[in-house]
Structure 1
Amino acid sequence: MTPVIELRDASKAYPGGVHALRGVNLTVDAGELLAVVGPSGSGKSTLLHVIGTLDRPTSGTVRVAGYDVATLSDSRLAALRARYIGFVFQHFHLSAGRDAVANVADGLLYAGVPLRERRARAREALARVRLDHRFEHRPHELSGGEKQRVAIARALVGEPRLVLADEPTGALDTASGEVVMEVLRELNAAGTTICVITHDNEIAHALPRRVRCRDGEIVADSRTPAEGAARP
């Protein structure tokens, strides 16, 4: 099966000699749940932008769902993102005057889906993140954890193969953060590949795979043994 993410010697440099990524090699298969963890300045945010095709590498190869991003025009990259990738950000980015269904339906705005179907799929996505009782609530009527779950539903409404969650618990209290992570685990168990970018080692250690970044490089890539696996 084609990996969802495949980076080979991927580097990203900026003017002034800043090397945000240095020869990164990373493969993520369908159905994985992993954390990309590291402190500020470690390169994890740049890695997210490169994986999410929001930025192109300076050198090396990046493939998403089998597509080499270097060969795609900007319009085809946008289409790849719309079809295969869902994004969840720390600060929600919800429209203040629109209810939860409308905010989630906006995730299909550029996919050519009719309004009635957009809203029906938005309700289904909200139900998946346990918010079927909040369809008509606007952001100011929701808790921080509920806002983040609306953002997750918006990322899921297009049924992407991959969800990139950038510090999804960073703006939440501990209890709300735990609910958000539980929802992400449930979505992964249903088949969605999920990559969580975080500086929180506790969150990272709770996930089955941890990719640790430092100074633009991957310095560790570890997995928790599956239950029942043989141990030395």
Structure 2
Amino acid sequence: MIVDLRQVTKTYNGQVQALRGVDLAVEDGELLAIAGPSGSGKSTLLHLIGTLDRPTTGTVRIAGHDIAELSDRELSALRGRILGFVFQQFHLAPGVSALDNVADGLLYTGTPLRTRRERAAAALERVGLGHRLGHRPHQLSGGEQQRVAVARAVVGDPPLLLADEPTGNLDSAAGTEVLGILRDLHTGGTTIAIITHDMEIAEWCPRQVRVRDGRITADSGHGRTPPAEFVKGAVR
């Protein structure tokens, strides 16, 4: 089990309850959506699963590690080994090639530059951008920039990928391309959790976890990879 949350609460400023007794288990190899409206608590769940924050009460285990028991340095090391992140904003360094934007995803691993670039080129090839290695962000479309961001997230082969509104800044065609890439990564063995308010995106995933007012209100359970033809209609 790669994600295991038990009776998790999160309170901000001593009074704002973002999560209220959440239980969530994610098995290796799942593709799920964590869906809900603004203010539902889904972003707080992302921060906890991504080890970017700690629970107020309850237990969060990622790949068997209780994050409350780890130091900040140990959490950073865990993120580097286990997690990849894709956000709505691309967060690419301007003026830097796609190759080096992706290679920077390995910057703190101690990997030599030449090896980082070789792995970055392979990751970009994986997302269909092997012909754009030298292009800078301003020379790429929105969909291509998000694909660079996906390549950067998976260049270290993390077993768990968290995608926060990954199609939010894209038109329907580019969004469909990004979902297709996520489906292919999942088929290759990566566990993927997509955080979204878009129910069409959520319903594309084999498992949907619905969040409202800090609680999980519905969970469809485990499921299979969505068929390729379903991807085409997932983003409109």
Calculate the TM-score normalised by the size of structure 2.
Answer: 0.93
Residue matched to 1:161: 159
Secondary structure of the corresponding residue to residue 62 of structure 1: strand
**Equivalent of 2:89 in 88, 91, 99:** 91
* Aligned mates of 1:138, 1:114 — CA distance in 2: 22
**Equivalent of 2:176 in 172, 175, 178:** 178
**Equivalent of 2:31 in 30, 33, 37:** 33
* Aligned mates of 1:133, 1:225 — CA distance in 2: 35
**Against the structure 1 CA distance between its residues 219 and 195, is the aligned structure 2 distance closer, same or farther, given a 3 Å change threshold?**
same
Aligned ranges for residues 24-103 of structure 1 at < 5 Å? 24-103=22-101
User: Contact between 2:30 and 2:223, CA under 8 Å: does it hold in 1?
Assistant: no
User: Contact between 2:88 and 2:168, CA under 8 Å: does it hold in 1?
Assistant: yes
* Aligned mates of 2:186, 2:125 — CA distance in 1: 16
Deviation, 1:158, is 0.9
User: Contact between 2:207 and 2:223, CA under 8 Å: does it hold in 1?
Assistant: no
* Aligned mates of 1:6, 1:224 — CA distance in 2: 14
User: Contact between 2:3 and 2:24, CA under 8 Å: does it hold in 1?
Assistant: yes
Secondary structure of the corresponding residue to residue 119 of structure 1: helix
Letter in 2 for 1:73: S
* Aligned mates of 2:222, 2:81 — CA distance in 1: 30
Of 11-20 and 99-108, deviating more is: 11-20
Deviation, 1:26, is 0.3
* Aligned mates of 2:223, 2:38 — CA distance in 1: 28
Calculate the TM-score normalised by the size of structure 1.
Answer: 0.95
Secondary structure of the corresponding residue to residue 153 of structure 2: helix
Q: Map Cα deviations across residues 158-214 of structure 1 (whole Å, 9 max, x no partner).
A: 110100000000000011000000000000000000000000000100110000000
Residue matched to 2:200: 202
* Aligned mates of 1:24, 1:39 — CA distance in 2: 17
* Aligned mates of 2:224, 2:157 — CA distance in 1: 27
* Aligned mates of 2:191, 2:179 — CA distance in 1: 14
Unmatched 5+ stretches in structure 2: 226-236
Secondary structure of the corresponding residue to residue 61 of structure 1: strand
* Aligned mates of 2:153, 2:181 — CA distance in 1: 13
Question: How many residue pairs get matched?
Answer: 225
**Against the structure 1 CA distance between its residues 142 and 160, is the aligned structure 2 distance closer, same or farther, given a 3 Å change threshold?**
same
Secondary structure of the corresponding residue to residue 110 of structure 1: helix
Deviating 4+ runs (over 3 angstroms): 223-227
Unmatched 5+ stretches in structure 1: 228-232
* Identity %, equivalent residues: 64
**Against the structure 1 CA distance between its residues 113 and 225, is the aligned structure 2 distance closer, same or farther, given a 3 Å change threshold?**
closer
* Aligned mates of 1:80, 1:103 — CA distance in 2: 21
**Equivalent of 1:10 in 8, 11, 15:** 8
Residue matched to 1:123: 121
Letter in 1 for 2:98: A
Letter in 1 for 2:74: R
Letter in 1 for 2:133: F
* Aligned mates of 2:13, 2:56 — CA distance in 1: 11
